A and B are shown apart, each in its own frame.
Chain A
């Protein structure tokens, strides 16, 4: 019996080892679109193996409820996997919340199973698990709420906000330290969950829509780290590996995102970017803009050789990606070279624009990253900006007083003609005026992105309707 148990345990460990290899390969294959689907397969096989292997665990006596939970979870997962592509940022935030929820629950259960005698190191990782887990849980729910626009997207700030937030975080760490020294003080454990839960909510309150790509990546990283901590608690190397992979992935994305905004993490989390008020607004002289109709815009586009389209969050909001595809087709048919310039923080999460344009069947080799396309703008006849604002603002290059000074931007102002589709002259999420709009070579196309692109397409195809 005993040798049989040991044998079983060894089989499980070997299965976990295979799953770990598959997980690493899965991420490795994500490096290019050509192999990425193979990567998903590898991940799926690894996951199924790991779950099947776990069921061999000798202590398991109750399979019925496991089966019910798996079926129930799949029932929730399928609709979450079928959401529309425009809802991907909030779906991602929600799944970070689910992951963190799972980890926090397991951590809590493990604590109460072991409570009178929890070794110190175990208590330390358990604390890390539940603190990161609970702040990620509420933080991600808040982020999802803001992205779904159930909650206001504008950052909410009040006096002493950073002090309150930092005190809450400090308090959770202090409780954790106390519990490590006095593990018998189990009545403090619920407090160590409640405080970070509150912190998670308050942490996201001052975050504006434009900061979401960084915040969602940071939450991703926290979710991974809390899972890795859980790996230590339940002594699962597979979980430590998966958590470390997820944690480093989230961290890399956060670094890329904050670099693309020329800001530090602390600045994103405590800076409340959207609150910056344009100070010079009162003393500003009246500046003039030139606007154009769809007919004029279509004429200019049809006469161009090289066109670069710059999509932004506004395109996602207007759901204009399919109309943009029609525009791409109409222009390509006329022999115009059309490419898309993708700023790393365009949209609400890393890679958001790429997914939307891919959904509209635009070939991915037409989607060009900022660093690769910026040199081409001087040879570009028309730069067409659709729903992007701050990422095209030349003030980031020149105006040392601008809140976005130093942020890398797409150099659309270097194109021969710039056209901007915009609802009106209201400033972007950062609340900063964009000098691009007042250039002589800039034509403003006022209207809804989807409707305006549609009328350009109609003009191009010869219909007057």
Chain B
């Protein structure tokens, strides 16, 4: 059981480094969509909540899990939707520049 946690720490450390390297390169132009996208991705917490609802181990875990699935799903759907809408608005002035 201790090893699972250590493995987790390794995964966390590596992912944090990847995050720093990848996100440092994001253009400041896109900082708002970046935030809404990471928000949607973060809502992957929904998987933990789904298991709570599905396993139905206690009333409390079921009710809390249910509310958690609702909250996270709204982030998934809303986050991807608005990121997509924002990115569609970013257009380049293709015609030859002076």
What is A's interface to B at a CB cutoff of 8 Å? Answer: 19, 23-24, 26-28, 30-33, 36-37, 39-40, 43-44, 46-47, 50-51, 54-55, 57, 59-63, 65-66, 68-70, 72-83, 85, 88, 91-92, 95-96, 98-99, 101-103, 105-106, 108-110, 112-113, 119, 121-122, 125, 216-217, 220, 223-224, 227-228, 230-250, 252-253, 256, 337, 342, 344, 349-352, 354-355, 358-359, 361, 363-367, 369
Among B26, B76, B89, point to the contact of A73 (Cβ < 8 A).
Answer: B76
Task: Establish whether residues A220 and B75, one from each chain, have CB atoms under 8 Å apart when the complex forms.
Answer: no
Task: Establish whether residues B45 and A81, one from each chain, have CB atoms under 8 Å apart when the complex forms.
Answer: no
How many residue pairs link A and B with beta carbons under 8 A? The number is 372
Task: Give, as a whole number of angstroms, the nearest-CB distance from A350 to chain B.
Answer: 4
Task: Report B-chain residues with C-beta under 8 Å of the C-beta of A344.
Answer: 28
Give the CA-CA distance A252 to B22 in the complex, in Å.
Answer: 11
Given A24-B22, A37-B87, A78 and B78 touching (CB < 8 A)? yes
The range of chain B's interface size is: 35 or more
Task: Report B-chain residues with C-beta under 8 Å of the C-beta of A50.
Answer: 44, 47
Task: Establish whether residues B30 and A351, one from each chain, have CB atoms under 8 Å apart when the complex forms.
Answer: yes
13 contacts between A and B (CB under 8 A): A23-B41, A24-B18, A57-B51, A66-B53, A73-B70, A77-B75, A78-B78, A101-B67, A106-B48, A106-B52, A232-B12, A242-B44, A364-B29
Given A121-B5, A241-B15, A220 and B47 touching (CB < 8 A)? no
- The 10 A-B residue pairs with the shortest CB-CB distance, nearest first, are A73-B73, A81-B81, A77-B77, A60-B54, A351-B31, A248-B19, A363-B93, A80-B78, A350-B31, A244-B15
Which residues of B from 52 to 98 have beta carbons under 8 Å from A? 52-58, 60-62, 64-93, 97-98
Task: Give, as a whole number of angstroms, the nearest-CB distance from A12 to chain B.
Answer: 9
Interface of A is mostly: helix
Interface of B is mostly: helix
Task: Give, as a whole number of angstroms, the nearest-CB distance from A69 to chain B.
Answer: 4
Task: Establish whether residues B36 and A43, one from each chain, have CB atoms under 8 Å apart when the complex forms.
Answer: no
Task: Establish whether residues A43 and B80, one from each chain, have CB atoms under 8 Å apart when the complex forms.
Answer: yes
Task: Give, as a whole number of angstroms, the nearest-CB distance from A223 to chain B.
Answer: 6
